[in-house]
């Protein structure tokens, strides 16, 4: 009906507008949560004021990645405290940080989506800077940690992986490990169309960005709890990054194979000639052993690497759901009217 607003009282018309604003936030903040009960209160205490201060309609989407502590309970409480801007996606199991973020992406409604970690290593106060940069016309704003606050071995290992990735993929990221990033709607829509089982979100999103850029941000020590990444899961994640975005490792082994075949062919000819000129050679057997073991190591690494790709292909072709959403705690549009009305009156 064209004249519907005129039939409504001013108050309820205002509520309608307010409700509409609530339904269509401009910014969606996605935060994966896995066993973070110790630090959530601190996160809320800094995140909400930082977002409120921006004065832009926003929503925070917490994705509980199958936490075994009381994180889900604390998130539900927070949803009750700020239902207008809070949504909670509860996953059935622990699918990993990147799958949790993907689950969050599917729920986003904002024009700009921000991702950050729950442990306050990414200061929420930086969100304003990311948005300011997005508004300059970029559709992907990555971030570089001014000074990384992690253990020394993590920092060095990650630097090494960063430069390897730089060489073997076409993705330009100064600091791949940092999750504090902003993505435009166009990028999120394309990421949501992907069905990758193993992925690395900053890299995946980068491949869809038309105009990416980076800014420098602060990094802090974990506010509470411990890192959820063991050495093993870090190795797995880096394999996801390398195998997901490059075939160079496979090609490297084919090339190595060619070079080694040529060299050993040459050696064979040399030994054959030597046998006719100087007689049979028996010394240097252990050197030969050492060389053999080295080659076997290289071979096993190559086979293992092929296995990494094959394993991922296997997971992908099975086509199982990547994650299972148990419930989403959110306000529906009729519920929105109630608190909105209360707020306008009070």
Q: Which residues of the chain form contacts with Mg ion (CB under 5 A)?
A: 117, 119, 121
Closest alpha carbon to 145 in 183, 182, 177: 177
Rounded to a whole number of angstroms, the minimum distance from the CB of residue 133 to ligand UDP is 23
| Torsion sign over Cα 77, 78, 81, 84 | negative
Site for ligand UDP in 24-63 (CB under 6 A): 32-34, 36
In angstroms, give the least distance from the CB of 320 to Mg ion. 28
* Least spacing, CB of residue 94 vs ligand UDP, in Å: 5
117 binds ligand UDP per the rule CB under 6 A:
yes
- 76 neighbors 329 (Cβ within 8 angstroms): yes
Concatenated DSSP letters for 268-293? HHHHHHHHHHH----S-HHHHHHHHH
Which of 96, 110, 212, 249 lies at the binding interface for ligand UDP (CB under 6 A)? Answer: 96
Distance, in Å, from the CA atom of 60 to the CA atom of 192, rounded to the nearest integer, reads 18
If contact means CB under 5 to 8 A according to the sort of partner, which of Mg ion, ligand UDP, none does residue 212 touch? none
Can you read off the two tokens belonging to residue 285? Answer: 């057997």
Is there binding between residue 88 and ligand UDP (CB under 6 A)?
no
Q: Minimum distance from CB of 117 to ligand UDP (Å)? A: 4
Closer to ligand UDP at the Cβ: 11 or 227? 227
DSSP 213: E
Residue 151 vs 192, nearer CB to ligand UDP: 151
* Residue 196 binds ligand UDP (CB under 6 A): no
Q: Choose, by CB under 6 A, the member of 100, 120, 141, 180 that binds ligand UDP.
A: 100
Q: Which residue blocks in the chain are alpha helix, DSSP H?
A: 4-7, 10-23, 40-54, 71-81, 97-107, 127-134, 152-168, 185-193, 201-208, 231-245, 248-278, 285-318, 333-345
Q: Does 161 bind ligand UDP (CB under 6 A)?
A: no
Q: Which residues make Cβ contacts (< 8 Å) with residue 36, sequence separation at least 6?
A: 43, 67, 69, 71, 118, 119, 224, 225
Give least dist CB 342 to ligand UDP, A.
32
- Binding residues for ligand UDP (CB under 6 A): 32-34, 36, 65, 94, 96-97, 100, 117-119, 121, 227-229
């Amino acid at each position: 009906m064209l004249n519907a607003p005129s039939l409504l009282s001013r108050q309820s018309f205002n509520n309608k507008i307010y409700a509409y604003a609530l339904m269509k936030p401009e910014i969606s903040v996605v935060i994966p949560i896995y066993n973070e009960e110790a630090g959530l209160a601190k996160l809320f205490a800094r995140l909400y004021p930082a977002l409120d201060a921006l004065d832009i309609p926003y929503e925070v989407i917490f994705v509980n990645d199958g936490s075994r502590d009381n994180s889900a309970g604390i998130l539900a409480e927070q949803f009750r405290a700020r239902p207008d801007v809070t949504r909670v996606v509860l996953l059935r199991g622990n699918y990993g940080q990147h799958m949790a973020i993907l689950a969050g992406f599917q729920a986003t409604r904002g024009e700009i989506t921000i991702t950050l970690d729950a442990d306050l290593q990414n200061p929420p106060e930086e969100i304003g800077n990311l948005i300011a940069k997005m508004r300059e016309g970029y559709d992907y704003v990555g971030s570089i940690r001014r000074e990384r606050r992690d253990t020394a071995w993590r920092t060095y290992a990650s630097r090494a992986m960063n430069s390897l990735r730089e060489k073997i993929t076409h993705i330009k990221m100064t600091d791949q490990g940092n999750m504090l990033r902003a993505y435009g709607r166009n990028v999120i829509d394309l990421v949501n169309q992907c069905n990758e089982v193993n992925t690395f979100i900053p890299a995946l999103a980068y491949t869809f960005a038309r105009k990416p850029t980076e800014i420098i941000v602060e990094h802090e020590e974990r506010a509470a709890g411990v890192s959820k990444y063991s050495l093993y899961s870090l190795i797995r994640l880096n394999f996801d990054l390398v195998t997901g975005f490059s075939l160079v490792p496979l090609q490297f082994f084919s090339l190595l194979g060619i070079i080694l075949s040529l060299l050993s062919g040459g050696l064979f000819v040399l030994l054959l000639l030597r046998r006719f000129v100087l007689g049979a050679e028996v010394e240097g057997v252990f050197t030969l052993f050492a060389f053999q073991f080295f080659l076997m190591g290289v071979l096993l690494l190559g086979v293992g690497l092929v296995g990494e790709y094959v394993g991922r292909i296997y997971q992908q072709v099975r086509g199982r759901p990547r994650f299972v959403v148990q419930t989403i705690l959110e306000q529906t549009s009729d519920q929105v009217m109630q608190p909105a009305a209360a707020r306008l009156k009070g």
